[in-house]
Amino acid sequence: MNEIAARYRVRADIFAAKIAAVRPGRWSNPSPCEEWTAKDVVGHIVDMHGAMLGPLGRSLSRAPSVEEDPLAAFASARADIEALLDDPATAASEVATPAGRLSVEQHIDQVVSADMVVHGWDLARATGQDDTIDPAEIVAIWPGVQQIPDEMRIPGAFGPGIVVFGPEVEVLHDAPLQHRVLGLLGRDPHWSA
């Protein structure tokens, strides 16, 4: 298994554990993502898995909806992505993406795999779970989040209804690195429902 596939699996395991830990009655809780509930966060991640399949002319396999069973919906979407990553020819093939031409595995790594890290924090905050992000992930994310272009913070810049990053949330310069990363990603590290 290559590094990208291994990283995806670790992130998916963590995200799945957060889904499984949501207590009954908490799925409708608001999340740090404006206008999204906890269940909407999972729906977004499942939808983004489908977006990774689109450039290949594929779609998600039939599965329960996020509304019916968030964990089963995620598990099915995850299986679809792992099938791509497990096929060396498909994983290495190039596709057109909003960021230009990328290999399928690069596209997955830069979009949905990375999304699970931050949206895992959103889901944890929304549902009262431990929201600590793996410190190695925070260190890896830090250089990139310091360089987010302003246009990626403009609602609708990449299409109607698409918001990539919210406005930067100011945090103290000596705050924990996780807080500084979250602030640059448009999240208030002290947000609560």
User: What SS3 string covers 2-49?
Assistant: CHHHHHHHHHHHHHHHHHHCCCCCCCCCECCCCCCEHHHHHHHHHHHH
Query: Given 131, 159, 177, which residue is the final one in a domain?
Result: 131
**Res 161: pLDDT:** 63
* Same domain, residue pair 22 and 81: yes
Averaged pLDDT, 29-51: 95
Mean per-residue pLDDT of the chain: 93
* Same domain, residue pair 178 and 151: yes
Tens-digit pLDDT profile for residues 47-102: 999 999 999 999 999 999 999 999 999 999 999 999 999 999 999 999 998 788 99
Q: Which of 56-65, 104-113, 137-146, 162-171 has the lowest mean pLDDT?
A: 162-171
Tens-digit pLDDT profile for residues 116-130: 999 999 999 999 999
* Same domain, residue pair 37 and 67: yes
Averaged pLDDT, 138-145: 94
Nearest to 38 by CA among 21, 53, 63: 21
**Res 100: pLDDT:** 86
CA 15 – CA 119 distance, rounded (Å):
8
**Res 150: pLDDT:** 80
Q: How many domains does the chain have?
A: 2
**Res 154: pLDDT:** 74
* Same domain, residue pair 175 and 90: no
What secondary structure does DSSP assign to 129-153, as a single string? ---PPPHHHHHHHHHHHTT--GGGG
**Res 159: pLDDT:** 62
Q: How many CB atoms lie within 10 A of CB 173?
A: 6
The CATH number that applies at residue 81 is: 1.20.120.450
pLDDT band at 180 (very low <50, low <70, confident <90, very high): very high
Residue-number span of the structural domain to which 193 is assigned: 132-193
Residue 148 pLDDT > 90:
no
* Same domain, residue pair 65 and 126: yes
Burial class (CB in 10 A: 0-12, 13-18, 19+), 192: exposed
Report in angstroms the alpha-carbon separations of 141 from 96, 133, 149.
Answer: 24, 11, 15
* Same domain, residue pair 96 and 173: no
* Same domain, residue pair 116 and 163: no
* Same domain, residue pair 163 and 112: no
* Same domain, residue pair 92 and 187: no
Report in angstroms the alpha-carbon separations of 150 from 6, 40, 168.
Answer: 32, 26, 10
Residue 156 pLDDT > 70:
no
Q: What is the pTM of this model?
A: 0.93
